[in-house]
Amino acid sequence: MFEARLVQSAILKKVLEAIKDLLTEATFDCSDSGIQLQAMDNAHVSLVSLNLRSDGFDKYRCDRNLSMGMNLGNMTKIMKCAGAEDTVTMKAQDNADVVAFMFESKNQEKVSDYEMKLMNLDQEHLGIPETDYSCIVKMPSQEFARICRDLSQFGESMAISCTKEGVKFSSAGDIGSANIKLAQTANVDAEEEAVVIEMQEPVSLTFACRYLNSFTKATPLSAQVQLSMSADVPLVVEYKIGELGHIRYYLAPKIED
Amino acid sequence: GKHQATLSSFFFST
């Protein structure tokens, strides 16, 4: 028996928004410790890694490990049926071929039950090597989304260069070029508005804007985003999901021929 | 020029 309850269904809606741009279907691996999902996009350029800890749920029970393959388009249809203030409960029996979603309004005046068929997905689990990243940048997530949107007007790729002084985002194409520099913030009132750089060595990497823009669909989940970079390895873009867990995106760089 | 790498060059199958 698996059962997971979230008082705020809005969180699950946001998680789904954050992954459905990159993935059409995915397997949710449920265990005693929580729910995990790891999947690459079709082109194997990016990877989504979602971790929702059992202790972050309002109620959580998982007697046996369970892998639930879901079509994310269909899951989105069902999650759209939940009111913003509803509580959501996901349930499945052991070895079930369906997952149930129950939405309850405040005071339980309205209770809606939906069942979705599960899929058997071939899933390739990837091992991600432990990396000591040369640069870790923490910045407001809305600022990062804005920069990705603005720079993607200029070209398909953007360079991210990080030094002790700051982080520079740049792009160039037919219409011209764009450069945005963010300095490390000296003092800020709110921690989430800060730009903080931890640098061991300067790094400059180039990435496809299209994927970065997809990652920024996670912006509503967190006020801050963390970018981890080292030379010639995939970028990690991480959004915390409150006390519940995190979503991490890995993106392979563009490299010199 | 630069070309897009894939994750298989960095991560390993488990």
How far apart are the C-alpha atoms of A90 and A100, rounded to whole Å?
Answer: 6
Inter-chain contact A254–B9, Cβ cutoff 8 Å? no
> Crossing angle for the helix pair A9-19 and A72-79, nearest 10 degrees?
150
Mutate to test the interface with B, among A22, A29, A48, A128 (most CBs of B within 10 A): A128
Query: Are the C-beta atoms of residues A213 and A152 closer than 8 Å to each other?
Result: yes
**How far away is chain B from the Cα of A185, in angstroms, using its nearest Cα?**
33
Q: Which residues of A touch B (CB under 8 A)?
A: 40, 43-47, 124-129, 157, 206, 208, 233-234, 250, 252-257
* Residue pLDDT, tens place only, A25-68: 999 999 999 999 999 999 999 999 999 999 999 999 999 999 99
* Residue pLDDT, tens place only, A185-194: 887 778 888 9
**How far away is chain A from the Cα of B7, in angstroms, using its nearest Cα?**
6
Q: Chunked in runs of 10, what are the mean pLDDT values of chain A (257 residues)?
A: 96 97 96 97 96 98 96 97 96 93 95 96 86 96 98 96 95 96 86 92 97 98 98 96 97 92
Query: According to the model, what pLDDT value does residue B14 have?
Result: 76
Q: Which residue of A has its CA nearest to B2?
A: A256
Query: According to the model, what pLDDT value does residue B1 have?
Result: 81
In this prediction the ipTM stands at 0.95
* Residue pLDDT, tens place only, A214-230: 999 999 999 999 999 99
